């Protein structure tokens, strides 16, 4: 793993006002009082610092260090867990589908995404005018900003529906307080940004630049955008491009993907870069710095396996766990269940614990153990896009054709510890098997569990209400106190933050909220 996953000068940039510097993985803060809009954007270093600031929001509470954890909680992968009282109430509101417009997750995701967008917009506005810059670096910076703007908008449009579309930094209140843009127009901009990014970005990076978005990051995200829009020919085209030309390959062992030493590894298309030991808060109680908090929050509660003994959030749901096929190696890499042995030699038990009435069910995928003295400070990167998903996108896009069957079967063979390119009569899906579209959706569930996709998948396939109704009724039938809600059409999107509605009269709330 490259420790300095691109050394940067991250600073807060929003609506033209900015401050601060950075170190490894965006995070060693520096004095900010001499940086202004008039004296910045002069050099190549300024351009790199500006684009790094657009990345930095990915590591914070508005993205992968809090808000996006809710995606699996709103689906059938996990429940909130924790102490089962008021701990994590913002996630429990989502789990119950009783979501006020003041919900913290709703506010964090909206705010964090738009901060990232405005930082990307500043890069796209200012960097073309810098004269003291290598043209290749200038092009790369623009491509990274295009990729990041597309990524943030892809989150927003899937979560909230219509959202305000900004393609340049606002310069007046009138330019800030705009109405929501229709989903189709937002997607059109996302597509164009990713096509442009594909043309601007390099295929690979090394050293301190390892972890930056590449042209294959853009191609992979574009394939995911197109399959979300149900544009199957386009999705297949871009997934094929990544599979054939990116140089990426599947790890033979699924668990190897999620080892710290394999960050930015052979299967990775894009990851959020985390690093430990750089948080300025000695106790680590912040999710807006360098380290990931998932190790602690998802770690087994009170088991002393992590620096803070584990919080037990994002508890795997029992029907999700029971749905693994026998022999699927992804189960042992993804979850702990009663009977498993923890790293310290103790056993997970069936004894009910706070937030997990069926016993020691916990997310294992993001566990790294005792990483140091800081509590919320894991170095394990968040895997946002990887090659296995490209195979599943291709399979969904082309259906149960020989190409589609081979694509999904590569993923399945790896899951069962088999040679990836060798047909397996025991595990391969066949053309006369069960509904292929459902089979792909199921494979996505177990391949991408706890990678913050399932709610999006159920929605786009029109199955959120039926599946989550079935799931809630099953949990209630166990009579163990599960408080899972049943969604309605309202819950196909989240509410817009009340604070935004109060500030911007041009915004209208989503129906039902």
Average pLDDT over residues 68-75: 97
Element (H, E) at 184: helix 183-200
* Residue 377 buriedness (CB in 10 A; 0-12 / 13-18 / 19+): buried
pLDDT one-digit tens code per residue, 293-324? 999 999 999 999 999 999 999 999 999 999 99
CATH number of the domain located at residue range(s) 12-276+384-470+480-492 in this protein = 1.25.40.390
The 8 Å CB, 24+ separation contacts for 486-490 are 486/97, 487/97, 488/97, 488/512, 489/465
pTM: 0.93
Strand locations in 207-334 (E): 268-272, 313-316
pLDDT one-digit tens code per residue, 334-362? 999 999 999 999 999 999 988 999 999 99
Average pLDDT over residues 225-243: 98
Band the pLDDT of 60: cuts 50, 70, 90: very high
What is the reported pLDDT for 32? Answer: 47
Sequence-distant (6+) residues with CB within 8 A of 126 are 40, 41, 50
Residue 467 CB neighbours (<10 A): 18
Query: Mean pLDDT over all residues of the chain?
Result: 91
Average pLDDT over residues 66-94: 94
Exposure on the CB side of residue 373, measured as CA atoms within 13 A: 6
């Amino acid at each position: 793993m490259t420790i300095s996953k691109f050394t940067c000068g991250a600073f807060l940039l929003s609506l033209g006002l900015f401050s601060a510097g950075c170190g490894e993985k965006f995070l060693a803060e520096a004095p900010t009082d001499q940086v202004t809009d008039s004296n910045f954007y002069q050099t190549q270093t300024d351009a790199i610092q500006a684009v790094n600031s657009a990345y930095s929001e990915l590591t914070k509470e508005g993205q992968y260090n809090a808000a996006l954890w809710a995606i699996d909680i709103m689906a059938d992968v996990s429940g909130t867990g924790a102490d089962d009282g008021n701990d994590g109430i913002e996630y429990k509101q989502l789990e119950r589908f009783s979501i006020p417009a003041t919900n913290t997750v709703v506010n964090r995701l909206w705010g964090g995404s738009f901060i990232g967008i405005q930082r990307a917009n500043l890069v796209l506005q200012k960097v073309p005018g810098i004269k003291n810059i290598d043209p290749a670096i200038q092009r790369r910076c623009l491509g990274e900003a295009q990729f990041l703007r597309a990524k943030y908008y892809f989150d927003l449009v899937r979560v909230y529906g219509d959202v305000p579309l900004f393609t340049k930094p606002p310069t007046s209140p009138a330019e800030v307080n705009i109405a929501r843009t229709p989903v189709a127009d937002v997607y059109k901009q996302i597509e164009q940004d990713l096509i442009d990014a594909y043309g601007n970005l390099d295929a690979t990076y090394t050293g301190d630049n390892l972890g930056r978005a590449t042209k294959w990051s853009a191609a992979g995200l574009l394939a995911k955008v197109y399959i979300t829009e149900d544009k199957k020919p386009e999705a297949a085209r871009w997934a094929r491009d990544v599979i054939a030309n990116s140089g990426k390959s599947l790890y033979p062992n699924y668990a190897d993907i999620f080892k710290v030493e394999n960050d930015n590894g052979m299967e990775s298309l894009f990851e959020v870069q985390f690093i430990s030991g750089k948080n300025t808060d000695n106790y680590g109680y912040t999710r807006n710095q360098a380290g990931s908090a998932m190790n602690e929050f998802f770690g087994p509660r009170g088991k002393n396996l992590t620096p803070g003994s584990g919080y037990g959030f994002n508890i795997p749901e029992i029907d999700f766990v029971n749905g693994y096929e026998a022999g699927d190696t992804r189960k042992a890499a993804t979850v702990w269940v009663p009977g498993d042995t923890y790293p310290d030699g103790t056993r997970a038990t069936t004894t009910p614990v706070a937030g997990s009435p069926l016993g020691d069910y916990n997310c294992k995928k993001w566990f790294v153990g005792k990483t140091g003295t800081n509590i919320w400070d894991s170095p394990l990167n968040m895997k946002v896009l990887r090659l296995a998903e490209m195979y599943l996108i291709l399979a969904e896009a082309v259906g149960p054709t020989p190409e589609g069957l081979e694509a999904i079967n590569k993923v399945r063979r790896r899951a069962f510890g088999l040679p990836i390119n060798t047909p397996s009569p025991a595990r391969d899906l066949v053309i006369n098997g069960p509904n292929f579209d459902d089979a792909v959706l199921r494979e996505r569930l177990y391949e991408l569990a706890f990678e913050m996709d399932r709610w999006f998948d159920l929605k786009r396939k029109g199955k959120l209400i039926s599946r989550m109704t079935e799931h809630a009724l099953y949990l209630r039938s166990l009579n163990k106190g599960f408080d899972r809600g049943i969604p309605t059409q309202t819950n196909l999107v989240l509410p817009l933050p009340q604070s935004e509605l109060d500030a911007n009269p041009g915004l209208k709330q989503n129906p039902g909220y």
